[in-house]
Amino acid sequence: MAWTLLHAADAHLGYAQYGLKKRQQDFARAFATMAQEAIAQDVRAVLFAGDLFHKRTVDANTLYQAVSVLQMLRDAGIQVIAVEGNHERAHFREPLSWLDFLAQMDLLVPLTPEYHQGKLALLPWDARERRGGYIDLPHRLRIVGCRYVGASTPAVVTDLAQAIAQLPEADSRHTILMLHAGMEGVLDAYSGTLRESDLLPLQNWVEYVALGHIHKPYQRLGWAFNPGSLEANSVVESQWTDRGYLLLEIDEEDSLRLPPKRVPVPGRPFLRLDCSVDDIQRPTALWDRVRGIANEATVGTDDPRRPVVELTLRGQLGFPRAALDVDRIEAILDEAFDPLTVRIHDLTTIEPGEIDIGAELTRRELAHHVLSEMISQDTRLGALAEPMTDLALSIQELALADSDPASIVAGLERWQSEHGRPFAEAAESEL
């Protein structure tokens, strides 16, 4: 009869992404979904390769989310074997991590080697002491684990290769090594700590490397696999739709079947929109374009959960930045999608004093554009660029109309009563 292992990582329980409680619940839901499917598929053990929690400080609600799911797995006879990730390491000088606490409750087995006088030691799991570097399972399976060690990972892997080779029955066991470590070449902006060559000393003794840490699914060398995170930790991660967990089977002849089966865990839908502003000269035209983009976009899922919507504005603005009404754009997207939250990334640029000659601007709009840009360059006045521009143009119009000087002064005083005296504090501080 085949034996099935489940390899998962990076649940990040407790992560209230965007400061939202519902996103925190999404991460808990993904972890619970993994466990429920493990029970349904008669999985015998779960290998969890780090970052069960999002941070070292775990609140009561997050701890409950972890304990309730782990208890469900334990009650189903499923053993959970884990390694500690970088997000859940114990605080400096604290002897126990949260994984150690869960081990004391008999909810999981945290594995890691120990160093004695500079030499790595792999000790068998001691159920009484709740510590060890490896554990032997039925079907000649051996699970070796190592917690997150950062830049030291290549050196530790070399030590692990030597230690695994010296373990009892090393040549007759199907050994799986669990690491919370990233590999180079997976993400452009991420410098991994491991290269493929770093894994080669393991190949005669390890049949499968169960990785965590990087949230994008990938595999290396045909025997090192990363399932990805259970839920998207960013909008970028939402595009990796094969994130989830891996199912690894041991057949009737006690052999590992590779590659493992990849099982996605659907997360909350994310919708990424892009809007170019290069040819837009008026705010109203931008609002119309955003409406058009929203009308053409579809979430692409039957998930009843409200999506996270991200809009990125790119290009060169043809009107003052002060007129870029982000609240108006958010209202348009709220009406179109009823999202959980809207994220707007403003990547637009403005060339001071540069105006599109072909733009259909009135004389006043042209003057408004130039003045607003000039005022915006003064860091003291950025927030007042729009009202100061209106004030200057109003004074100009009053002067050109030969208005009574008293009325001009009265207008200045009204403006100051509403907006203050932006240079007053600076002038007084120079005395």
SS3 sequence of the chain: CCEEEEEECCCCECCCHHHCHHHHHHHHHHHHHHHHHHHHCCCCEEEECCCCECCCCCCHHHHHHHHHHHHHHHHCCCEEEECCCHHHCCCCCCCCCHHHHHHHCCCCEECCCEEECCEEECCECECCCCECCEEEECCCEEEEEECCCHHHHHHHHHHHHHHHHCCCCCCCCEEEEEEECCECCCCCCCCCCECHHHHHHHCCCCCEEEEECCCCCEEECCCEEECCCCCCCCCHHHHCCCCEEEEEEECCCCCEEEEEEEEECCCCCEEEEEEECCCCCCHHHHHHHHHHHHHHCCCCCCCCCCCEEEEEEEEECCCCHHHCCHHHHHHHHHHHHCCCEEEEEEEEECCCCCCCCCCCCCHHHHHHHHHHHHHHCCCCCHHHHHHHHHHHHHHHHHHHCCCCHHHHHHHHHHHHHHHCCCCHHHHHHCC
Distance CA 401, CA 412 (A): 17
Confidence of residue 56 (pLDDT cuts 50, 70, 90): confident
Between 357 and 417, the more confident residue is 417
Asked whether residue 354 carries a pLDDT value surpassing 60, the answer given is no
Give residue-wise pLDDT tens across range 75-108: 999 999 999 998 887 765 667 789 999 999 999 9
Confidence of residue 393 (pLDDT cuts 50, 70, 90): confident
Query: How high is the pLDDT of residue 348?
Result: 87
Asked whether residue 388 carries a pLDDT value surpassing 90, the answer given is no
Between 205 and 354, the more confident residue is 205
Query: How high is the pLDDT of residue 383?
Result: 66
Q: What are phi and psi of 266, to 5 degrees?
A: -60, 130
Query: How high is the pLDDT of residue 284?
Result: 92
Angle between helices 385-400 and 363-376 (to 10 degrees): 130
Query: How high is the pLDDT of residue 414?
Result: 74
Query: How high is the pLDDT of residue 210?
Result: 98
Least confident span in 1-10, 132-141, 289-298, 398-407: 398-407
Between 52 and 427, the more confident residue is 52
Query: How high is the pLDDT of residue 358?
Result: 43
Query: How high is the pLDDT of residue 425?
Result: 45
- What's the whole-model pTM score? 0.78
Give residue-wise pLDDT tens across range 205-216: 999 999 999 999
Confidence of residue 430 (pLDDT cuts 50, 70, 90): very low
Confidence of residue 1 (pLDDT cuts 50, 70, 90): low
Query: How high is the pLDDT of residue 60?
Result: 94
Give residue-wise pLDDT tens across range 300-320: 667 788 999 999 999 888 888
Query: How high is the pLDDT of residue 294?
Result: 92
- For the chain, the average pLDDT equals 87
Query: How high is the pLDDT of residue 411?
Result: 73
Query: How high is the pLDDT of residue 408?
Result: 75
- Over range 344-365, report the average pLDDT: 63
Query: How high is the pLDDT of residue 133?
Result: 96
* 387, HSE (Cβ side, Cα atoms, 13 Å): 15
Query: How high is the pLDDT of residue 427?
Result: 39
Query: How high is the pLDDT of residue 19?
Result: 92
Give residue-wise pLDDT tens across range 99-116: 999 999 999 999 999 998
Query: How high is the pLDDT of residue 183?
Result: 94
Query: How high is the pLDDT of residue 431?
Result: 33
- Over range 108-134, report the average pLDDT: 93
| % of the chain exceeding 70 in pLDDT | 86
